[in-house]
A and B are shown apart, each in its own frame.
Chain A
Amino acid sequence: MYIYIVKRLLFLIPTILGIILIIFAVMNVTPGDPGRAILGVSARQDEVDALNHQLGYDLPFLQKYVNYIKNIVTKGDFGISYFTKQSVFDEIWPRFVLTIKLALCGILLSTLIGVPMGIYAAVKQYSLYDTIPSLIAFFIASIPGFVLGMVLLYVFSLKLNILPSYGAKTIRHLIMPVFAISISAAAQNMRFTKSSMLESVRQDYVRTARAKGLPESTVIWKHALKNALLPVVTQIGLNLGLLICGAVVIEKLFSLPGIGGLIVDRISFKDEPVIIAGTILIAVCFTIVMLIVDLVYAYIDPRIRAKYSRTSTK
Chain B
Amino acid sequence: MNDQMVIAEDDAVEEFRRENQTKEIWRRFKKSKGSLVGLFLLVIILLLVIFANFITSYDLAIKQDPSKILEAPSMEHPFGCDNYGRDVLARTIHGGRISLGIAVLATLCSCVVGSLLGAVAGYFGGVIDSVIMRTLDIFMSVPDILFTMAIVVAFGSSFTVLLLALTVAFFTNYVRLVRSQVLNLSEQDYIEASRAGGAGNARIIFSHILPNSIGVIIVNVTLNVAKIIIYESTLSFLGLGMPPPQPDWGLMLSEAREFMRKAPFLMFFPGTAIVLCAVAVNFIGDGLRDALDPHLKS
Q: Do A and B come from one complex?
A: yes
Interface residues of A (CB under 8 A from B): 15, 18-19, 22-23, 26-27, 29-30, 138-139, 141-147, 150-151, 153-154, 158, 194-195, 198-199, 241, 244-245, 248-249, 252-253, 260, 263-264, 267-268, 270, 272, 275, 279, 282-283, 286-287, 290
User: Residues of B contacting A141 with CB < 8 Å?
Assistant: 226, 278, 282
Bound-state CA distance A194–B298 (Å) is 9
Q: A19-B138, A282-B146, A286-B142 are in contact. Are A139 and B260 (CB under 8 A)?
A: no
The reply on B204 being an interface residue by CB < 8 A is no
Tell me the minimal C-beta distance from A65 to chain B in angstroms.
Answer: 15
A27 touches B154 (CB 8 A): yes
In the complex formed, the residue of A with least CB distance to B281 is A142
Interface size on B, residues (CB 8 A): 40
A154 touches B264 (CB 8 A): yes
User: Residues of B contacting A23 with CB < 8 Å?
Assistant: 142, 146, 150
B142 touches A249 (CB 8 A): no
The reply on B44 being an interface residue by CB < 8 A is no
The secondary structure that dominates the A interface is helix
User: Residues of B contacting A290 with CB < 8 Å?
Assistant: 141
A245 touches B145 (CB 8 A): yes
User: Residues of B contacting A142 with CB < 8 Å?
Assistant: 226, 230, 275, 278-279, 282
A145 touches B278 (CB 8 A): no
A145 touches B234 (CB 8 A): yes
In the complex formed, the residue of A with least CB distance to B232 is A144
Bound-state CA distance A150–B274 (Å) is 14
B230 touches A19 (CB 8 A): no
A279 touches B260 (CB 8 A): no
User: Residues of B contacting A29 with CB < 8 Å?
Assistant: 154-155
A147 touches B275 (CB 8 A): yes
Tell me the minimal C-beta distance from B297 to chain A in angstroms.
Answer: 10
Bound-state CA distance A264–B236 (Å) is 12
Tell me the minimal C-beta distance from B180 to chain A in angstroms.
Answer: 15
B274 touches A144 (CB 8 A): yes
Enumerate the 4 nearest inter-chain pairs by beta-carbon distance, A residue then B residue, closest first.
A142-B278, A18-B138, A245-B145, A283-B142
12 contacts between A and B (CB under 8 A): A22-B138, A22-B139, A23-B146, A23-B150, A26-B154, A142-B226, A198-B298, A248-B145, A264-B240, A267-B153, A283-B146, A287-B141
A146 touches B237 (CB 8 A): yes
B138 touches A244 (CB 8 A): no
A139 touches B279 (CB 8 A): yes
The reply on B152 being an interface residue by CB < 8 A is yes
B146 touches A279 (CB 8 A): yes
Tell me the minimal C-beta distance from B226 to chain A in angstroms.
Answer: 6
Bound-state CA distance A287–B279 (Å) is 32
User: Residues of A contacting B155 with CB < 8 Å?
Assistant: 29-30
The reply on B151 being an interface residue by CB < 8 A is yes
Q: A29-B155, A154-B260 are in contact. Are A283 and B143 (CB under 8 A)?
A: yes
B234 touches A249 (CB 8 A): yes
Bound-state CA distance A143–B143 (Å) is 20
Bound-state CA distance A305–B159 (Å) is 49
Q: A139-B279, A286-B142 are in contact. Are A150 and B149 (CB under 8 A)?
A: no
Q: A26-B150, A249-B238, A264-B149 are in contact. Are A286 and B141 (CB under 8 A)?
A: yes
Central interface residue in B141, B233, B264, B282, by most chain A CB within 10 Å? B141
The reply on B253 being an interface residue by CB < 8 A is yes
Tell me the minimal C-beta distance from B63 to chain A in angstroms.
Answer: 26
A150 touches B257 (CB 8 A): yes
Bound-state CA distance A176–B145 (Å) is 22
In the complex formed, the residue of A with least CB distance to B141 is A287
Bound-state CA distance A36–B68 (Å) is 43
B142 touches A19 (CB 8 A): yes
The reply on B271 being an interface residue by CB < 8 A is yes
Central interface residue in B139, B153, B253, by most chain A CB within 10 Å? B153
Further pairs besides A150-B253, A158-B261: 5, Cβ < 8 Å: A18-B138, A23-B150, A30-B155, A144-B230, A241-B143
Residue in contact with A283 in the complex, picked from B141, B239, B278, CB distance below 8 Å: B141
Binary contact track B129-170/A, C-beta < 8 Å → 1, others 0:
000000101110111111101111111000000000000000
In the complex formed, the residue of A with least CB distance to B237 is A146
Tell me the minimal C-beta distance from A139 to chain B in angstroms.
Answer: 6
Tell me the minimal C-beta distance from B197 to chain A in angstroms.
Answer: 36
Tell me the minimal C-beta distance from A56 to chain B in angstroms.
Answer: 20
Tell me the minimal C-beta distance from A258 to chain B in angstroms.
Answer: 13
